[in-house]
Amino acid sequence: MTQSNLERLIFHADLDAFYVEVERQYDHSLRGKPVIVGGMGPRGVVSTASYEAREFGVHSAQSTVVARKLCPEGTFLPSNHALYSEISKKFMAILREFSPIVISVSIDEAYLDMTGTKDIYGPPQKAAEEIRKNIQNGIGLPVSIGIGPNRLVAKVCTEYAKPDGIFQIQQVEAENFFGPQPVRNLPGIGPKAEEALGNLNIFTLKQLANAPVGLLRRALGPNRADYIRPRARGIDNEPLQERGKAKSISAETTFETDISGQSEMIKIVKQLSERVGARLRKSGQLARGATIKLRYRDFTTITRQRTFPNPNDGDQAIYETAQALLVKAMKERRESIRLIGVSVTGLGPKATQLSLLDTHPTADSDTSFALDRIRDRFGNEAISRGTQ
Looking at the domain assignment, is residue 100 inside a domain? yes
Residue 244 confidence (pLDDT): 58
Distance CA 207, CA 374 (A): 59
Distance CA 148, CA 111 (A): 11
Amino acid 280 reads L
Residue 256 confidence (pLDDT): 78
Amino acid 83 reads L
| Cis-peptide, bond into residue 100, ω within 30° of zero | no
Residues 208 and 70 in one domain: no
Amino acid 7 reads E
Residues 16 and 149 in one domain: yes
Looking at the domain assignment, is residue 240 inside a domain? no
Can you give the CATH number for the domain in which 226 is found?
1.10.150.20
Distance CA 373, CA 112 (A): 38
Residues 252 and 159 in one domain: no
Backbone angles phi, psi at 144, to 5 degrees: -105, 140
Looking at the domain assignment, is residue 148 inside a domain? yes
Distance CA 70, CA 75 (A): 12
Distance CA 157, CA 147 (A): 6
Distance CA 34, CA 51 (A): 7
Distance CA 147, CA 115 (A): 11
What is the pTM (predicted TM-score) of this model?
A: 0.66
b/e map 171-193, b = 16+ CB within 10 Å: eeebeebbbebebeebeebeeeb
Residues 144 and 199 in one domain: no
Residue 42 confidence (pLDDT): 77
Amino acid 131 reads I
Residues 200 and 182 in one domain: yes
* Catalytic annotation, residues: 109
Residue 314 confidence (pLDDT): 87
**Segments forming the whole domain that contains residue 219:** 175-231
Looking at the domain assignment, is residue 241 inside a domain? no
Residues 92 and 141 in one domain: yes
Q: Are residues 181 and 204 in contact, defined by beta-carbon separation less than 8 angstroms?
A: yes
Residues 85 and 211 in one domain: no
How many Cα neighbours within 13 Å face the side chain of 106? 9
pLDDT tens across the length of the chain (388 residues): 444 456 899 999 999 999 999 999 999 999 999 999 988 877 788 989 999 999 999 998 888 999 999 999 999 999 898 899 899 999 999 999 999 999 998 889 999 999 999 999 999 999 999 999 999 999 999 999 999 999 999 999 999 999 999 999 999 999 999 999 999 999 988 888 899 999 999 999 999 999 998 999 988 888 888 889 999 999 998 888 766 566 789 999 888 788 988 989 999 999 999 999 988 888 888 899 999 999 998 888 899 999 998 888 888 999 999 999 999 999 999 899 999 999 999 888 765 334 333 444 444 555 555 555 554 554 444 445 555 4
Looking at the domain assignment, is residue 2 inside a domain? yes
Q: How far is CA 30 from CA 50, 89, 264, in A?
A: 10, 24, 41
Distance CA 123, CA 88 (A): 27
Residue 242 confidence (pLDDT): 66
Contacts of 278 (CB under 8 A, 6+ apart): 315, 368, 372, 375
- Would you list the DSSP string of 48-62? EE-HHHHTTT--TTS
Residues 184 and 271 in one domain: no
Looking at the domain assignment, is residue 236 inside a domain? no
Looking at the domain assignment, is residue 238 inside a domain? no
Contacts of 336 (CB under 8 A, 6+ apart): 258, 259, 260, 296, 297
Q: Are residues 11 and 131 in contact, defined by beta-carbon separation less than 8 angstroms?
A: yes
The total domain count for the chain is 3
Residues 6 and 137 in one domain: yes
Residues 226 and 291 in one domain: no
